[in-house]
Amino acid sequence: MPSQLEHAMETLMFTFHKYAGDKNYLAKDDLRALMDKEFPGFLERDPMALDKIMKDLDQCRDGRVGFQGFFSLLAGLTIACNDYFVVGYAEHYRGL
Amino acid sequence: MPSQLEHAMETLMFTFHKYAGDKNYLAKDDLRALMDKEFPGFLERDPMALDKIMKDLDQCRDGRVGFQGFFSLLAGLTIACNDYFVVGYAEHYRGL
């Protein structure tokens, strides 16, 4: 039986393949569908968000985001959430 | 309610903090405990594995692995698993 961490890593992989399908990359429409479903409300905050994300991740400028690009997106989001969590935790214990 | 992907990202964060504790970094013993518990058997294959991982992740050479270092470890492992998964999937459908 996988550990919780292994299960989480499996979820990251399966999520990519769910939206990438057999072609094994995310086109812009796949990325939009993934963001809408997995991070509801995220794209609504900035009408240019999808274009900005696509530009960051599509390093070959071929309109395709591979698994490593997808993982970079998750890294950025998770590290930002973690920084927020650590600050919040510290402030909570300092009574701020 | 978080999506499956958000839940998986939350698990990555909480796993780091579970082993890092209040000091907010993984020392070598914390990393050993994490690897033993979350990736059972991984370290047993190579007696030098923990030292190699620590050397890769501890970029400041201060014996501390922060959240970004931990995420790099997960990136390496998940990307390797994904490559294996994609090859296996392709071979399965080619009937190899």
- Mutating which of B36, B81, B82 best tests the A interface, going by the most A Cβ atoms within 10 A? B82
Q: How many CB pairs below 8 Å do chains A and B form together?
A: 81
pLDDT for B93:
64
For chain A, the residue count is 96
Calculate the dihedral angle through the C-alpha atoms of A60, A28, A9, B4, rounding to the nearest 10 degrees.
170
Q: How far is B48 from chain A (nearest CA, A)?
A: 22
Return mean pLDDT, chain B: 90
Contact between B81 and A13 using a beta-carbon 8 Å cutoff: yes
Residue A89 has pLDDT above 90, yes or no: no
Q: Domain A4-94 is of which CATH architecture?
A: Orthogonal Bundle (1.10)
Question: What is the band of A47 on the pLDDT scale with cuts at 50, 70, 90?
Answer: confident
How confident is the model at residue A1, as a pLDDT? Answer: 85
- What are the φ and ψ backbone dihedral angles of A58, each rounded to 5 degrees? -90, 75
Q: Residue range A3-13: average pLDDT?
A: 95
**Domain spans of chain A?**
4-94
What is the DSSP code (8-state) at residue B26?
A: B
Q: What is the mean pLDDT of residues B35-56?
A: 92
ipTM score of complex? 0.87
Q: What was the pLDDT predicted at A95?
A: 65
Of B77, B79, B86, Cβ closest to residue A68 = B79
Q: Provide the pLDDT for residue A96.
A: 55
Give the separation between CA A62 and CA A88, rounded to whole angstroms: 40
